[in-house]
Amino acid sequence: MSEVDAQQKRPPRVIIIGGGFAGISAAQALRGVGARILLLDKENHHCFQPLLYQVATAALAAPDVAWPIRYVMRGREDVTVLMLAAEGVDTVQKVVRTRVGEIAYDFLVVATGAAHSYFGHENWAKIAPGLKSINDATLIRSKLLLAFEQAEASVDREERERLLTFVIVGGGPTGVELAGALSELARGALPPEFHRADPGKARILLLEAGPRILSSFPERLSKYARRALESMGVEVRTGAAVEEVYETRVVAGGEDIAAGAILWAAGVRASPAADWLGAPADRAGRIAVDPELTVPGFPDVYVVGDLALVKGPDGVSVPALAASAKQMGWYAGRAIRRRMLGQKPRKPFRYRDRGSLATIGRKSAIVKIGRLELTGFVGWLFWSVAHVYFLVNLQSRLFVAISWIVAYFTYHRGARLITR
């Protein structure tokens, strides 16, 4: 692909693989430049991952936090959205392989994201699901609710205690948010409706292998989060690496814990795109990209989002967040646009830290934006407004806001369905 195509007749073909934050942003950055864009994803929907834990804990319905990718791209005549999994890339022929044949590109944006890593114990995946997709979230929701239901139906005291023990592996934002939301479900929403088991007495354990939870946050906030979780009855165990996961128990830090549900919020592994591209990857499968987010040796192939390993000027890797994915996708889209228009290349990608947030419960969150640090109710309010704002349409904003307001005053959880 030469930079002069824009002056010729044929519009350049851009293929974007992945309709997450990075892929969507890349498409948005290409608006109106005259490219022929093909956006591929194996799912039909874009999912607002930061709120998935609320689907998993029955606070929100799945459609509140996920929308068809073609709906997000509505009004874009230049973007064709296909629910079609990429099965490989030929970077020499410049085609993407799919079930319906090979599709040629001039520019490629790979934004296939990450899945969970079980550190070589892939058999744990079936027992301890992670939280990356809508399907994961509804599976976890069913697992959690089923444990409470089975505890209520059980006639054996020991069995009941096991069923009411929940283990969450991994003390990052997802693990912390799951633990907090699960505690509110167990101690707030459920107790008035159970007669035999007492969901309020559920044990919720948050296991973290490292020395503290939320290690990406300043130590003060991480300590605050721990205290807040503990005040909600969550047992936080640091230095507790998981040694083995069985169907109904976890061995961690030398302790054998019988559990009703085990959730995984620990390791992350990039999608297998590095293999497709023949690009060198780090241990987590991430592709070390050039400062322009392209694959070394393939200047027409951009890699963005959780799949990209990008070092900042300070040598620190850009964190895998919704915000960084959006920035990378946008950068790649703008870079392609400049090349189409024959403008000089963009400066290398630079991640702008807009802050990080994690919520612990309905009255508590931690927020770090530059030097500003918020905790408690103020943090929670900030977190809520920010998240409602980022949803893709008015109806979702309205439904999420109403659900939260109702939950705030009544502990009601509106989406407590066990499905198959």
- Taking alpha carbons only, the member of 237, 230, 233, 272 closest to residue 253 is 237
Write down the least CB distance from residue 334 to a second copy, Å.
24
Q: Which is nearer to a second copy, 281 or 388 (CB)?
A: 388
Choosing from 152, 177, 184, 208, the catalytic residue is 177
Which DSSP letter does residue 88 get?
E
Is 177 annotated as catalytic? yes
What is the enclosing helix (H) or strand (E) of 46?
strand 45-47
Q: Which is nearer to a second copy, 192 or 218 (CB)?
A: 192
Which DSSP letter does residue 32 get?
T
Write down the least CB distance from residue 83 to a second copy, Å.
4
Q: Which is nearer to a second copy, 193 or 219 (CB)?
A: 193
User: Which residues make up the interface to a second copy (CB under 8 A)?
Assistant: 43-45, 61-64, 66-68, 70-71, 73-75, 77, 80-84, 100-101, 134-135, 138, 145-146, 149-150, 152-155, 192-196, 395-396, 398-399, 402-403, 406, 412, 414-420
Q: Which is nearer to a second copy, 62 or 250 (CB)?
A: 62
Rounded to 5 degrees, what are φ and ψ at 292?
Answer: -95, 15
Sheet of 95-98: strand order equals: 88-90, 95-98, 101-104
At residue 72, the 3 state secondary structure works out as helix
Residue 368 to residues 174, 303, 363, 382, Cα–Cα distance (Å):
16, 28, 17, 11
Write down the least CB distance from residue 195 to a second copy, Å.
5
For every residue of 184-207, DSSP letters joined together read HIIIIISGGG-SSS-GGG-EEEEE
Q: Which is nearer to a second copy, 154 or 317 (CB)?
A: 154
Write down the least CB distance from residue 58 to a second copy, Å.
8
The distance of Cα 26 from the centroid of its chain, to the nearest Å, equals 18
**C-beta neighbour count of 290 within 10 angstroms:** 16
d(CA 252, CA 88): 38
**C-beta neighbour count of 88 within 10 angstroms:** 14
Q: In the chain, how long is the greatest CA-to-CA distance?
A: 76
Write down the least CB distance from residue 144 to a second copy, Å.
11
As annotated, the active-site residues are: 177
